């Protein structure tokens, strides 16, 4: 039992508290206050300890160029791919923002540490599937609840991953040669544990448009610890700007070469008719629809008006003769 005589009285406790507050009594916190500490923000580009986001942006720019070209060659359509954002977040927070089902692919990027992840929204898969079989990128926005990807859809995902792997390899080449390997696929991101929920990851989000009014996102997720060992290499490449001018010229030449064989849908519109729903529903086989023909017909390429034209015949074939372009063609 403690000796009551050794306890401080209320008056003594008040005096001790007042002395600590006004500084007349020194307190030993156990901390060495003479050490100068330096603050580091790991998400800051200028931090000597952090991964340079500017380098990741450069990699992403090269990836977009190669990915567009790869999709053009495979799907025979002109895709639109753009950068949405790059951010460093905790893996658990990133997973909370995702809604299953998705095409979640665990991948390895040797020699980088650990596993990375490529997440493709179902709308991209369905649009790519429609394009692959000659359509115009139509599809569903989401995978119906409870349904897995069919074998055909899974094959399209594999084709897209092959394009993605080739694009990543080219994008990383000026910095570090990498080899891409597919490890596993899931539809629930919670099952793709490439990091602990409190570990940091670097998320690059891309927006892809492969069809008519169909767009979706593709995420590339790197564990922060995978890029941290090469942070000095990433920083040096940003400072020197290695590979940009050469890759721009090569990409432009390759895109022009691939675009020559891209398939286009050309349609000729004679006129437009306005009617009511009731009249439209009343139409049947053999009915005659009257319309006023304009001075010229309009020629569309992939739903974009390009020329005014006259419609006629050339031998036994129907034909359209181009009269003038609607916009200057360079």
Distance CA 209, CA 80 (A): 5
> Quick one: 287 and 218 in the same domain?
no
Q: Are residues 74 and 140 in the same domain?
A: yes
DSSP 8-state symbol, 110: E
Task: Report how far residue 65's alpha carbon sits from residue 58's, in angstroms, rounded to the nearest whole number.
Answer: 11
User: Which of 227, 242, 259 is the last residue before a domain boundary?
Assistant: 259
Q: Of the candidates 205, 233, 259, which is a domain's last residue?
A: 259
- Show the domain range for 286: 266-325
pLDDT value of residue 168: 95
Same domain flag for 68 and 174: yes
Count up the domains in the chain and report the number: 2
Whichever domain contains 305, its CATH number is 2.30.330.10
Domain contains 41? no
62 and 171 part of one domain? yes
What is the pTM assigned to this prediction?
A: 0.61
Q: Which of 317, 234, 274 is nearest to 53 (CA)?
A: 234
Same domain, 274 and 172: no
Looking at the fold, whether 164 and 197 belong to one and the same domain comes out as yes
- Residue 224 shares a structural domain with residue 286: no
Q: Examine the domain organization and report whether 137 and 101 are in the same domain.
A: yes
Residues 145 and 204 in one domain: yes
CB 205 within 8 A of CB 57: no
Q: Among the three residues 210, 236, 259, which one is the final residue of a domain in this structure?
A: 259
pLDDT along the chain (330 residues), means of 10: 63 76 65 58 48 85 92 84 92 91 94 94 89 72 77 94 95 92 93 92 92 84 91 70 54 61 81 85 88 84 86 85 74
Residues 244 and 305 in one domain: no
Q: What pLDDT was estimated at residue 217?
A: 93
Same domain, 299 and 243: no
Query: What's the pLDDT score for residue 207?
Result: 94
Specify whether 228 is located in the same domain as 272.
Answer: no
């Amino acid at each position: 039992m403690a000796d009551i005589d050794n306890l401080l009285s209320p008056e003594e406790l008040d005096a001790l508290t007042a002395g600590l507050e006004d500084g007349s009594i020194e307190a030993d916190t156990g901390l060495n206050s003479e050490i100068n500490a330096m603050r580091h923000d790991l998400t800051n580009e200028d931090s000597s300890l952090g991964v340079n986001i500017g380098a990741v942006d450069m990699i992403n720019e090269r990836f977009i160029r190669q990915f567009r070209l790869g999709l053009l060659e495979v799907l025979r359509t002109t895709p639109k791919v753009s950068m949405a954002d790059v951010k460093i977040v905790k893996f658990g927070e990133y997973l909370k923002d995702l809604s299953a089902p998705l095409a979640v692919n665990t991948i390895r990027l040797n020699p980088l540490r650990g596993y990375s992840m490529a997440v493709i929204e179902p709308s991209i898969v369905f649009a790519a599937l429609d394009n692959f079989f000659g359509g115009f990128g139509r599809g569903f926005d989401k995978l119906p609840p409870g349904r897995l990807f069919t074998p055909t859809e899974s094959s399209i995902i594999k084709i897209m991953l092959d394009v993605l792997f080739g694009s990543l390899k080219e994008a990383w080449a000026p910095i570090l040669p990498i080899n891409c390997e597919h490890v596993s696929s899931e539809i629930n991101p919670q099952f793709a544990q490439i990091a602990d929920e409190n570990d940091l990851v670097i998320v690059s989000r891309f927006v892809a448009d492969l069809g008519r009014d169909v767009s979706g996102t593709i995420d590339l997720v790197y564990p922060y610890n995978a890029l941290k060992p090469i942070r000095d290499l990433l920083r040096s490449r940003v400072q020197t700007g290695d590979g940009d001018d050469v890759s721009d010229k090569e990409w432009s030449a390759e895109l022009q070469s691939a675009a020559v064989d891209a398939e286009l849908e050309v349609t000729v519109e004679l006129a437009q008719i306005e009617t009511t729903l009731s009249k439209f529903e009343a139409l049947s086989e053999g009915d005659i629809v009257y319309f006023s023909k304009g001075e010229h017909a309009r020629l569309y390429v992939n739903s974009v008006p390009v020329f005014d034209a006259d419609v006629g015949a050339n031998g036994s074939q129907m034909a359209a003769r181009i009269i003038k372009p609607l916009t200057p063609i360079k």
